[in-house]
């Protein structure tokens, strides 16, 4: 199976919305951040088989990113493309001058993201803009673990995030 990883376009909105809805993932805020999504597409079937999105929020002159909607269609796609999708996503996020990148995961994803340089974060240590984001509000009552990765810090003291050195 030949797959393509590419940046989403406005024309992808309906397909991504349908894909995320069928996967049981919240689509709140999708339209506002669509061009910061990457999609995995099966060009033979003209079908989206994976997504990951970046939402960017500003607070106190700093930019914070929130990774969301990491969904891959099946285990075959996950095994072959998942790490490449994440690698491209993190490279893309680094071009956005973010202070930090956050994500919410289930406990089964913690080890993967620690391996990628993230660490767990207490919810009360998250920036207000992340706490008020549609993904956080949609998942606040669910069993999720906030994680963060600081790109660089120019002020001290650092935010209360445990950094895992690579």
| 67: β partners | 54, 103
- pTM for the whole structure: 0.85
Please provide residue 86's backbone torsions phi and psi, each rounded to the nearest 5 degrees.
-65, -40
* CATH class for the region spanning 4-150: alpha beta
Partners of 73 in the beta sheet? Answer: none
For residue 81, what are its two tokens?
């493309």
How high is the pLDDT of residue 57?
97
pLDDT in tens, 87-109: 999 999 999 999 999 999 988 88
Structural contact between residues 48 and 15, judged by C-beta atoms closer than 8 angstroms:
yes
Q: How far apart are CA 12 and CA 34, in angstroms?
A: 8
Report the percent of the chain where pLDDT is more than 70.
87
pLDDT tens-digit map of 42-60: 889 889 999 999 999 999 9
pLDDT-derived band at 134, boundaries 50, 70, 90? confident
């Amino acid at each position: 199976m030949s797959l393509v990883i590419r940046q989403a376009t406005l024309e992808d909105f309906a397909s991504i919305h349908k894909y995320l809805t069928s996967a049981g993932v919240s689509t709140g805020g999708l339209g506002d951040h669509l061009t910061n999504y990457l999609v995995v597409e099966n060009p033979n079937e003209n079908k989206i088989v994976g997504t990951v999105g970046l939402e960017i929020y500003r607070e106190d002159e700093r930019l914070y990113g929130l990774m969301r909607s990491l969904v891959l269609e099946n285990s075959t796609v996950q095994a072959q493309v998942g790490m490449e999708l994440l690698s491209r996503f993190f490279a893309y996020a680094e071009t956005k001058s973010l202070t930090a990148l956050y994500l919410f995961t289930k406990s089964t994803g913690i080890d993967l993201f620690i391996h990628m340089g993230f660490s767990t974060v207490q919810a009360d240590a998250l920036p207000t803009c992340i706490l008020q984001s549609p993904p956080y509000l949609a998942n606040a009552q669910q069993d999720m673990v906030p994680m963060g990765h600081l790109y660089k810090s120019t002020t001290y003291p650092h935010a209360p995030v445990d950094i895992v050195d690579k």
